[in-house]
Amino acid sequence: MHRCKLMLAGMLLAISSHAPADDKNDLPVNKVKGPLSVMVLGSGGPVATPSGRAGAGYLIFTDGKPRVLMDLGGGTYKSLAESGASIHDMEYILLTHLHADHTGDLTPVVKTIYFHNNRAGTSRNNPINIYGPKANGVTFPGTTITQYPATSEYANDHYAMPMGTERYLNLFARAITENKSSFAYKAYDLNSRVPGAVMETVFSTDDGLVVKAIAVDHGPVPAVAFRIEYKGYSVVYSGDTGSRGPNMVTISQDADLLIYDTAIMADEPANPVFHVLHTEPARIGEVALAANAKAVVLSHITPVTEPRLKEVQNIIRSTGYTGKIKTAKDLKVYNLGGDD
C-alpha cells in the first residue's frame, strides 16, 4: 500500500512538472521591445479552419505601448485577451476594408477599451479614431444602392445616437466608470479610388508616429493599405489586394516589415472572383523586390495556401527577392529596433 502511494505521488509530480506554467512573464505582451513592434492578432482569412487562425488583425506598439489596431477580424478579440495587453489608452483603429473577416470584432474590442479603462481606474473622454476607405460608387447591378458604405457611415450605423445599432455604448461607457467617462468616436474616410492614387498621410503625432495610406485594388471593394512609421522604422500592411497596379510598390518602399495578403495560388483559382481579389505569390515577391522591403510576413492565410506555404516562399524567392520571409502566427511579436 505504501509503495502504491509513492508511485501515485511520483506520477502526480511528473504530471504537474509538465503542466503549463501560470506565469505572467509568458504573456505575448512581455515579448514586445524596441521602438516599433507588431503583434499578430489574426493571421487567417475568411474561412474558419482547424488551424485556429483568427481573422485579420494586428496591434502596433511604439516604445512598448499599444498605439494602433489594424483590422479586427473575428477571433482577434480572443487573441487580444490572450496577449495580456491593456488598450485603455487606444486611440487609433485602421480598417483596410469593410469585409467581416477584417471588422467582425470591432465592437467587442471597442467595448474592451472601456473595460480596460475601468480596470486601470482611469476615466476616458478622448475619441477613438477610426480610419478606413471611402465608398467608391460601385453599386449592386440594376440598382442605385452602393455595395459598400464609407467607413464613416459604417461607424455611425454602429455607434451614433439616436439610430446606431450599438448606441447603448454611449450609456455603457458612463455606467461602468460612474459617469467619469463618455463614449466618443470619430470616423474618417480615406481615398479608395485606385487609378492615380498617391500615398497620403492619415495622421501624425507629436512623438513621431506617422500613419500613411494608399488605395489598393480589391475588385469592387473599397480598400486601402497602411504604412506605420516610427523612429526610422516602418511596417506596411497590404490588407486584401489583387495582383494589379503599382500602389503596393509605392507604399512599401524600404519597409522593414511588409505584411502581405497570402490567400491564393496562381494554379488554384477555385473561385475566379476570390482569385481576382487577392495576390498571387509571385506578385508578393515582385512587390517586395521592387520596394526593397527588408522582410515579408505572409498573412491572411487560407485553406488554399496553408498546406503550400513552403511553395509560396519558393515562388517569392524565384522573383529574385532575397530578404527575410516569415509566416504570421497568431500572437507572434515582431520587434523592429529590438531583438525579434
pLDDT tens column, 137-193:
899 999 999 999 999 999 999 999 999 999 999 999 999 887 788 999 999 999 999
Phi, psi dihedrals of residue 92, rounded to the nearest 5°: -125, 125
CB atoms within 10 A of CB 247: 23
Output the nine-digit C-alpha cell for 69.
Answer: 489596431
pLDDT at 243 over 80: yes
* Domain presence at residue 4: no
pTM, two decimals, is: 0.91
* Domain presence at residue 193: yes
Cα separation, 185 vs 222, whole angstroms: 22
Cα separation, 327 vs 313, whole angstroms: 9
High-pLDDT (> 70) share of the chain, %: 91
pLDDT of residue 23: 59
Number of domains the chain is built from: 1
* Domain presence at residue 295: yes
CA dihedral 105, 103, 75, 242 (to 10 degrees): -170
* Domain presence at residue 17: no
* Domain presence at residue 12: no
* Domain presence at residue 116: yes
Cα separation, 193 vs 4, whole angstroms: 75
* Domain presence at residue 16: no
Closest CA to 219 of 261, 267, 282, 157: 261
* Domain presence at residue 129: yes
Q: At a CB cut-off of 8 Å and minimum separation 6, what does 161 contact?
A: 167, 170
Residue range of the domain that includes 122? 30-336
Cα separation, 212 vs 234, whole angstroms: 11
pLDDT at 253 over 90: yes
CATH number at residue 304: 3.60.15.10
Q: Burial-class residue 188 by CB neighbours within 10 Å (0-12, 13-18, 19+).
A: middle
